[in-house]
Amino acid sequence: MDRFTRFLARRGVQGRFMAAAVVAALMAALFAAVPAQAADGQITGLAGKCADVAAASNANGTAVQLYDCNGTTAQRWSNGGDGTLRALGKCLDVVDRSTADGAAVQLWDCSGGANQQWVVTAAHDIVNPAANKCLDVRDNSSANGSRLQIWTCTGAANQKWNAPAGGGGTPSGFVVSEAQFNQMFPSRNSFYTYGGLTAALSAYPGFATTGSDTVKKQEAAAFLANVNHETGGLVYVVEQNTANYSHYCDTSQPYGCPAGQSAYYGRGPIQLSWNFNYKAAGDSLGIDLLDNPNLVQTDPAIAWKTGLWYWNTQSGPGTMTPHNAMVNQAGFGQTIRSINGSLECDGRNPAQVQSRVNAYQSFTSILGVTPGSNLYC
């Protein structure tokens, strides 16, 4: 049994992950799974006025306000294809990553942060999922210069916006849209952004781009189904059993554990663990994860990249990488074997296998493709 697999075993039954599912109903009720899209053009709101960047400045921290629509670039918003709303080359951002009522919004360098994610609902609210609050005109004022902020969604006129739909499609040609991603993970941790995932795709350009459209979607569904199982629906960013943290330093490695003996616990969508896995993943990605393992729990794109690293390059206890299993049509069951086969496959833990299969079948249904054969291991 490889060390990575032994780690997965220690995390135990997925059921304990579901403690965070209490937020699922609220999220599902709020969102209509419509992505935040504003094709190059205006976002209009109260009194028919426009979301406007003050003084048309693209400096970080510039206020976003309500103003008479005038057709200038200060009012020209676009969908970045990653859940962001952009103007003047920067992103609509909640100040200081706040989730409090009254937190102002501003223009800032796009970072992939949860405070720059926006979803337009069918009811014309523009919602920041991390805060679960709506874009709002302060004091319900229609005066020019009224500051925009986030506030608990009330359905009031000062929270209603017309954001023209973009031309469709998904960023980087990814076969999973943001709306589908949100449907798959209605109660996900705000750390696991769609933008972080799409930003990570360039690290492994063959992922979900190889073969027919059906195969591409099957691979994306297979990856996300296994991720779903490993993180309890993208709820957990780090391993929950802190007692294990000191166990993941293999001192026999010549490079040791420079970040500390307890620094290499499970993080990210595949719960990367052990100093040698951080070293191998970092070397492959061109990121110093051995010295900076916390990047996997603080940078969404890096977290997703570590999951894609394992998927595309590691066979674990299996005989092929999960990527090869899907593109060569060996079946979803072989991805389970490559991730945790020593503990789940061949009848060792059929309930865990079934959990993964159930998610895969659900996700392929969302993507409109058949799951294929050989689902079990």
Residues 77 and 35: beta-carbon distance below 8 Å: no
Residues 329 and 372: beta-carbon distance below 8 Å: yes
- Residue 220 three-state SS: helix
Which candidate, 35, 15, 31, 18, places its Cα nearest to that of 186? Answer: 31
Residues 311 and 321: beta-carbon distance below 8 Å: yes
CA atoms 202, 206, 212, 215: torsion sign: negative
The DSSP secondary-structure symbol of 318 reads S
Separation of alpha carbons 120 and 37, rounded Å:
7
Sheet containing strand 119-120, edge to edge, reads: 119-120, 126-128, 133-137, 148-151
Instruction: Locate 160 and state its tokens.
Output: 């209603």
Residues 259 and 292: beta-carbon distance below 8 Å: yes
| Annotated catalytic residue, options 219, 230, 239, 344 | 230
219 is catalytic: no
Active site residues: 230
